Amino acid sequence: MTTLNIQEQISEILVLRQPSVHRIADVREKLDKLHHHLQNVVNYGNSENITLTDEQKASISALPVAEALHQIDSLKKDLARLQARFSRETLNIGVIGRARQGKSRLLQSLTGLSRREIPDADGMHCTGVRSSICHSLETNTYADVYFYNESGFLEEVIAPYYRELTLGNPPQSIEEFSVRDLTLGAKATTAVDLAKFEHLKKYQKNLSEYRHLLGHASPLHIEKEEIPKFITQYDPDDSKVAYFNYLAVREVRIFCCFPNEEVGKIAVVDMPGLGDTGIGDEERMISTLSEEIDFILFVRMPKHTGDYWADVDVGLYDIANRALQGTSLETWSFQIINALAGGSNQRNCEDLRETINTHHLKVAQTIIANCADSATVQHTILPPVLDHIAKYITVLDRRFMDACERSLIDLQKTLAKLAQEAGQSITLVSGANEYTIFDNLFQDFWNEKLTLDLETLRIDLWQRRQDKDPNLSTAIEIACREAKEETGIPPIEEIRKKSMQKGSINKAYYDLLDIVRVNLSENFQSQLDESLKRSVDELKNKLAGLFSNAGLSSLTEQKNVSILAELLDLLETNADHASDLGMQKIHQGFKDLLEFQLFYRGLAQPRIRKHLDYLTAPREGITGERCAPELGQNPSAETIAEMLITLHSEALYKIDEELQDLLWEPSMSLFSITEEFLDCVLRAENVESSWRKFLWNHREKIWKNEFKWQHLISFFQEYSKPGKLTLI
Amino acid sequence: MSADAKNCLNITMLGARGVGKTTLLASVYNEFDSTVKDLGLTLCPSSDTSAILQQRLAELKRQTEVFSATGGIDGTNSPKDFEFGLGLVGKDAELKLVFKDFPGGFIKDHPEQVKSFIDQADVVLLAIDTPAMMEAKGAWHEKINSPQMIADLFKHVLRNLEKTTKTKLVIMAPVKCESYVQRDVDANKLLLTLKENYLPLLNLLNADEFLGKISVVVTPVQTLGSVRFTRIEESGPGEPRFFFRKISPQALYQPRDVDEILKYALTFIIKKYLDDMGFFKRIFNQMFNLSKPFENAVNKMVRNRKESNGFEILQGKDLLNFDK
Q: What is the pLDDT of residues A510-527, one digit of tens each?
A: 889 999 999 998 888 888
Query: In this complex, how many residue pairs, one in chain A and one in chain B, have their CB atoms less than 8 Å apart?
Result: 43
d(CA A438, CA A453): 21
**Listed residues A162, A187, A214: the one ending a domain:** A214
Give residue-wise pLDDT tens across range A249-265. 888 888 988 887 767 78
Please report the pLDDT score of residue B3 as a whole number: 39
pLDDT band for position B189 (cuts 50, 70, 90): very high
Return the sign of the alpha-carbon dihedral for residues A222, A227, A231, A233. negative
Please report the pLDDT score of residue A278 as a whole number: 55
Q: Are A259 and A374 in contact (CB under 8 A)?
A: yes
d(CA A337, CA A345): 10
Please report the pLDDT score of residue A474 as a whole number: 92
d(CA B278, CA B255): 38
- Residue in chain A lying closest to B139 (CA): A657
Of the segments A112-121, A538-547, B88-97, which one has the largest average pLDDT value?
A538-547
From chain B, the residues in CB contact with A505 under 8 A are none
ipTM over cut 0.90: no
From chain B, the residues in CB contact with A646 under 8 A are 67-68, 230, 243, 245
Q: Check CB contact under 8 Å for B67 and A642.
A: yes
pLDDT band for position B194 (cuts 50, 70, 90): very high
Point out the residue among A643, A650, A657 whose CB comes nearest to the CB of B249: A643
- Whether the pLDDT of residue A426 is over 80: the answer is no
Please report the pLDDT score of residue A85 as a whole number: 84
Q: Are A294 and A91 in contact (CB under 8 A)?
A: yes
**How far does B67 lie from chain A, in Å, by closest CA?**
7
- Residue in chain A lying closest to B179 (CA): A625
Q: Are A542 and A509 in contact (CB under 8 A)?
A: no
Question: Quick check: is A443 in a domain?
Answer: no
Q: Are residues A83 and A163 in the same domain?
A: no
Question: Quick check: is A442 in a domain?
Answer: no
Domain count of the fold of chain A: 4
From chain A, the residues in CB contact with B247 under 8 A are 625, 629
Q: Which of the two residues, A679 and A238, has the higher pLDDT score?
A: A679
Q: Are residues A531 and A592 in the same domain?
A: yes
Q: What is the pTM of this model?
A: 0.56
CA neighbours within 13 Å on the CB side: how many for A287?
Answer: 8
Q: Are A166 and A185 in contact (CB under 8 A)?
A: yes
Q: Check CB contact under 8 Å for B249 and A653.
A: no
Please report the pLDDT score of residue B72 as a whole number: 58
A380 φ/ψ angles, rounded to the nearest 5 degrees:
-95, -35
Angle between helices A6-44 and A65-87 (to 10 degrees): 160
Q: Check CB contact under 8 Å for A643 and B232.
A: no
Q: Are residues A378 and A465 in the same domain?
A: no
What SS3 string covers chain B?
A: CCCCHHHEEEEEEEECCCCCHHHHHHHHHHHHHHHHHHHCEEEEECHHHHHHHHHHHHHHHHCCCCCEECCCCCCCCCCEEEEEEEEECCCCEEEEEEEEECCHHHHHHCHHHHHHHHHHCCEEEEEEEHHHHHHHHHCCHHHHHCHHHHHHHHHHHHHCCCCCCCCEEEEEEEECCHHHCCCHHHHHHHHHHHHHHCHHHHHHHCCHHHHCCEEEEECCCECCCCEEEEEEEEEECCEEEEEEEECCCCCCCCCECHHHHHHHHHHHHHHHHHHCCCHHHHHHHHHHCCCHHHHHHHHHHHHHCCCCCCCEEEECHHHHCCCC
Please report the pLDDT score of residue A516 as a whole number: 92
Eight-class DSSP state of A381:
I
**How far does A467 lie from chain B, in Å, by closest CA?**
18
Q: Check CB contact under 8 Å for B245 and A650.
A: yes
Please report the pLDDT score of residue B6 as a whole number: 54
d(CA A534, CA A471): 7
Q: In sequence order, what DSSP letters do the residues of A426-454 get, joined into one string?
A: HHHHH-S-HHHHHHHHHHIIIIIIIIHHH
Burial of B184 (0-12, 13-18, 19+ CB in 10 A): exposed
User: Hey, which residues 581-640 in chain A have their CB within 8 Å of chain B?
Assistant: 625, 629-633, 635, 639
Region of poorest pLDDT, from A417-431, A606-620, B110-124? A417-431
pLDDT band for position A457 (cuts 50, 70, 90): very high
Q: Are residues A108 and A196 in the same domain?
A: no
* Residue B9 CA to its chain's centroid (Å): 14
**Listed residues A214, A234, A268: the one ending a domain:** A214
CATH number of domain containing A297: 3.40.50
From chain A, the residues in CB contact with B135 under 8 A are 657
Q: Which of the two residues, B273 and A294, has the higher pLDDT score?
A: A294
Q: Are residues A422 and A541 in the same domain?
A: no
Contact B249/A at CB under 8 A: yes
Contact B246/A at CB under 8 A: yes
Please report the pLDDT score of residue A241 as a whole number: 81
Contact B231/A at CB under 8 A: yes
From chain B, the residues in CB contact with A480 under 8 A are none
A290 φ/ψ angles, rounded to the nearest 5 degrees:
-70, -25
Q: Are A607 and A687 in contact (CB under 8 A)?
A: no
Question: Quick check: is A474 in a domain?
Answer: yes
Give residue-wise pLDDT tens across range A587-606. 889 999 999 998 888 878 88
C-alpha distances (whole Å) from B234 to each of A83, A290, A498, B139, B240 are 81, 91, 34, 12, 4
What's the mean pLDDT when you consider all of chain A? 83
Point out the residue among A646, A653, A654 whose CB comes nearest to the CB of B67: A646
**How far does B19 lie from chain A, in Å, by closest CA?**
21
**How far does A606 lie from chain B, in Å, by closest CA?**
20
**How far does B287 lie from chain A, in Å, by closest CA?**
47
**How far does A650 lie from chain B, in Å, by closest CA?**
5
- As a whole number, mean pLDDT of residues A32-49 equals 80
- Residue in chain B lying closest to A614 (CA): B247
- Whether the pLDDT of residue B199 is over 90: the answer is yes
- Residue in chain B lying closest to A649 (CA): B231
Q: How many CB atoms lie within 10 A of CB A140?
A: 10
Share of chain B above pLDDT 90, in %: 12
pLDDT band for position B216 (cuts 50, 70, 90): very high
Question: Quick check: is A439 in a domain?
Answer: no
d(CA A439, CA A699): 11
Q: Are residues A538 and A609 in the same domain?
A: yes
Alpha helix stretches (DSSP H) within A53-154 = 54-61, 65-87, 103-111, 150-152
- Whether the pLDDT of residue A558 is over 50: the answer is yes
- Residue in chain B lying closest to A625 (CA): B247
Of the segments A81-85, A454-458, A493-497, which one has the largest average pLDDT value?
A454-458
Region of poorest pLDDT, from A82-86, A693-697, B37-41? B37-41
Residues 6+ apart with CB under 8 A from A358: none
- Whether the pLDDT of residue A1 is over 50: the answer is no
| Domain ranges, residue A542 | 448-706
Q: Check CB contact under 8 Å for A632 and B250.
A: yes
Q: Are residues A265 and A398 in the same domain?
A: no
- As a whole number, mean pLDDT of residues A689-706 equals 82
Q: Which of the two residues, A238 and B72, has the higher pLDDT score?
A: A238
Q: Check CB contact under 8 Å for B67 and A625.
A: no
* Residue of B112, B128, B213, B237 lying closest to B164 (CA atoms): B213
Q: Are residues A493 and A547 in the same domain?
A: yes
Region of poorest pLDDT, from A70-74, A428-432, B56-60? A428-432
Question: Which residues are paired to B228 by β-bridges?
Answer: B245
- As a whole number, mean pLDDT of residues B215-233 equals 87
From chain A, the residues in CB contact with B245 under 8 A are 646-647, 650
Specify the amino acid at residue A106.
Answer: L
- Which letter, b or e, does each residue of A322-349 get, where b requires 16 or more Cβ atoms within 10 Å of its Cβ? ebbeeeebebbbbbbbbbbeeeebeebb
- As a whole number, mean pLDDT of residues B186-203 equals 92
**How far does A460 lie from chain B, in Å, by closest CA?**
29
- As a whole number, mean pLDDT of residues A85-90 equals 85
CA neighbours within 13 Å on the CB side: how many for A277?
Answer: 26
Region of poorest pLDDT, from A194-203, A424-433, A706-715? A424-433
**How far does A471 lie from chain B, in Å, by closest CA?**
22
**How far does B34 lie from chain A, in Å, by closest CA?**
29
Q: Check CB contact under 8 Å for A630 and B243.
A: no
* Residue of B220, B212, B222 lying closest to B320 (CA atoms): B212
Point out the residue among B66, B232, B248 whose CB comes nearest to the CB of A629: B248
Q: Are residues A220 and A340 in the same domain?
A: yes
Please report the pLDDT score of residue A325 as a whole number: 66
- Whether the pLDDT of residue B324 is over 50: the answer is no
Q: Are residues A309 and A362 in the same domain?
A: yes
Please report the pLDDT score of residue B5 as a whole number: 47
Three-state SS at A47: coil
Q: Which residue out of A487, A650, A654 would a mutagenesis test of the B interface target, given it has the greatest number of B Cβ atoms within 10 Å?
A: A650
Residues 6+ apart with CB under 8 A from B185: none
Burial of B239 (0-12, 13-18, 19+ CB in 10 A): exposed
d(CA A654, CA A610): 10
- Residue in chain B lying closest to A633 (CA): B250
**How far does A538 lie from chain B, in Å, by closest CA?**
31
**How far does A633 lie from chain B, in Å, by closest CA?**
7
**Domains identified in chain B and CATH numbers:** 5-316 (3.40.50.300)
Q: Are residues A405 and A488 in the same domain?
A: no
* Residue of A286, A333, A349, A321 lying closest to A101 (CA atoms): A349
Contact A649/B at CB under 8 A: yes
Share of chain A above pLDDT 90, in %: 10
Q: In sequence order, what DSSP letters do the residues of A138-195 get, joined into one string?
A: SSS-EEEEEEPPHHHIIIIIIHHHHHHTT-SSPPSSHHHHHHS-----SS--SHHHHH
From chain B, the residues in CB contact with A625 under 8 A are 182, 247
Q: Which residue out of B242, B243, B250 would a mutagenesis test of the A interface target, given it has the greatest number of A Cβ atoms within 10 Å?
A: B250
Q: Please tell me the total number of residues recorded for chain B in this structure.
A: 324
A219: preceding bond cis by omega (within 30 degrees): yes
- Residue in chain B lying closest to A660 (CA): B136
A721 φ/ψ angles, rounded to the nearest 5 degrees:
-75, 140
Longest Cα separation, chain B: 60
pLDDT band for position B2 (cuts 50, 70, 90): very low
Question: Quick check: is A184 in a domain?
Answer: yes
Please report the pLDDT score of residue B202 as a whole number: 92
Q: Are residues A364 and A288 in the same domain?
A: yes
d(CA A105, CA A300): 12
From chain B, the residues in CB contact with A650 under 8 A are 230-231, 245
Q: How many CB atoms lie within 10 A of CB A452?
A: 13
Question: Quick check: is A189 in a domain?
Answer: yes
Question: Quick check: is A440 in a domain?
Answer: no
Q: Check CB contact under 8 Å for B230 and A631.
A: no
* Residue B182 CA to its chain's centroid (Å): 21
Question: Quick check: is A607 in a domain?
Answer: yes
- Whether the pLDDT of residue A274 is over 70: the answer is no
Q: Check CB contact under 8 Å for A657 and B136.
A: yes
